């Protein structure tokens, strides 16, 4: 991106805009520990993480549902936008969908629907993998293209007259000016490790936790089995002794044959520790304390309470502040004085922190009543913020 020189204002280019390619198709490669190999799409990453992995899915749902359930207050109070955020239709709410898109993809797009009065009457969340940024020759976004099947819809980057723009909320990406970076890429290696360990344990159970082995033919005279004998013996082994139904079945050997089991025991072949480590890495990538995901560890009530507080402090409050702040700024075209924020006093997990703050502010004798109310996020005695 090129920046304008000092003393000048950048002007929109009149040349044909450039379509910025989407982020995820070229972001993650399939190889676990290499930088070469087939590219992985965002859809493939979501299928591995959210659709197949219980830890990743639960982490995303905890954050998304927690963000949607956070109490919100508006200024002015009881603003009509609160009804738009609530939705009322069955299915996930707007904030839940936006939060999940930000976590997984790193980008969230909100379309506003205007009524006959020219005011917003509906807010819609768009699938982020279907949206591409349209930039001018200087690199600044001028529009967004939304593809749904064979339908292509263009949104301006800013509201122009009666045509509303598209709100783009994105997380930080150190290598991209137009798209944000989600958590799913950083969690991909841990997700694949967890899925592979789960599949290994399932295969172990399918074999009734019986370790494999080798059938050794050693008649003592140096002779070997013919091809027909080898194929017949292999077929009989598969039919009579392979699978969970035949686990533990006694084997009768003759003619210089002996069964040599592997040195691995079922306990050694259990990848439970690997799965626990991968689970904690997944929780770390999404910003959820492992205890809240049911992982083994310091499972005590006090630790659970502190983990819940940490979830709000480190993950939910920053996420909701970004969403509601961006949404309020975007809606200033219709409601210039709108302000949206999470009501921290109504969050049970933060009650101890708020009680401590209220006590400190109430005990500050050098502050006026209006100053105390301002520090607590309340309106002044005269009704002004």
Mean pLDDT of 368-375: 81
Q: Bigger pLDDT: 42 or 253?
A: 42
pLDDT in tens, 281-299: 999 999 999 989 888 765 6
Confidence at residue 110, expressed as pLDDT on a 0 to 100 scale: 95
pLDDT in tens, 194-234: 999 888 878 777 766 565 677 677 777 767 777 887 788 77
Contact of 307 with 297, CB cutoff 8 Å: no
Q: Work out the pLDDT band at 152, boundaries 50, 70, 90.
A: very high
Confidence at residue 8, expressed as pLDDT on a 0 to 100 scale: 42
**Residue 120 reports pLDDT greater than 80:** yes
Q: Work out the pLDDT band at 4, boundaries 50, 70, 90.
A: very low
Q: What percent of the chain has pLDDT over 70?
A: 75
Confidence at residue 384, expressed as pLDDT on a 0 to 100 scale: 52
Q: Bigger pLDDT: 33 or 338?
A: 338
Q: Bigger pLDDT: 172 or 268?
A: 172
**Residue 375 reports pLDDT greater than 90:** no
**Residue 358 reports pLDDT greater than 50:** yes
pTM, full prediction? 0.76
């Amino acid at each position: 991106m090129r920046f304008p020189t000092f003393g000048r204002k950048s002007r929109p280019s009149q040349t044909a805009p450039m379509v910025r390619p989407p982020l995820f198709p070229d972001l993650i490669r399939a190889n676990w520990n290499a930088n070469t190999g087939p590219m992985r799409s965002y859809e493939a990453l979501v299928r591995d993480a959210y659709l197949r992995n219980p830890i990743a899915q639960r982490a995303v749902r905890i954050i998304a549902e927690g963000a949607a359930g956070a109490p919100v207050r508006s200024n002015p109070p009881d603003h009509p936008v609160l009804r738009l955020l609530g939705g009322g239709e069955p299915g996930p709410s707007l904030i839940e969908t936006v939060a999940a898109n930000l976590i997984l993809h790193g980008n969230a797009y909100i379309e506003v629907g205007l009524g006959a009065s020219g005011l917003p009457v509906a807010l819609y969340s768009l699938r982020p993998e279907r949206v591409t940024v349209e930039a001018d020759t200087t690199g600044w976004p001028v529009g967004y293209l939304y593809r749904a099947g064979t339908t292509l819809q263009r949104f301006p980057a800013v509201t122009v007259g009666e045509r509303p723009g598209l709100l783009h909320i994105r997380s930080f990406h150190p290598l991209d000016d137009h798209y944000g970076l989600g958590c799913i890429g950083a969690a991909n290696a841990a997700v694949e490790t967890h899925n592979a360990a789960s599949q290994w344990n399932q295969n172990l159970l399918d074999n009734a936790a019986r370790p494999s082995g080798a059938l050794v033919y050693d008649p003592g005279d140096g002779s070997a089995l013919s091809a027909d004998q080898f194929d017949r013996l292999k077929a009989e082994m598969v039919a009579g002794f392979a699978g969970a139904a035949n686990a533990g079945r006694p084997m009768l050997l003759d003619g210089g044959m002996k069964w040599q089991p592997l040195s691995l025991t079922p306990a050694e072949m259990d990848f439970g520790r690997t799965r626990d480590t991968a689970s904690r890495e997944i929780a770390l990538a999404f910003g959820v304390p492992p205890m809240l995901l049911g992982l083994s560890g310091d499972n005590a009530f006090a630790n659970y309470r502190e983990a819940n507080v940490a979830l709000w402090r480190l993950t939910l409050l920053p996420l909701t502040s970004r969403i509601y702040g961006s949404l309020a700024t975007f809606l200033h075209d219709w409601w210039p004085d709108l302000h949206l924020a999470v009501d921290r006093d109504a969050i049970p997990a933060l009650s101890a922190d708020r009680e401590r703050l209220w006590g400190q502010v109430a005990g500050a004798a050098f502050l006026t009543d209006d100053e105390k109310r301002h520090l607590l996020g309340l309106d002044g005695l005269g009704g002004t913020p």
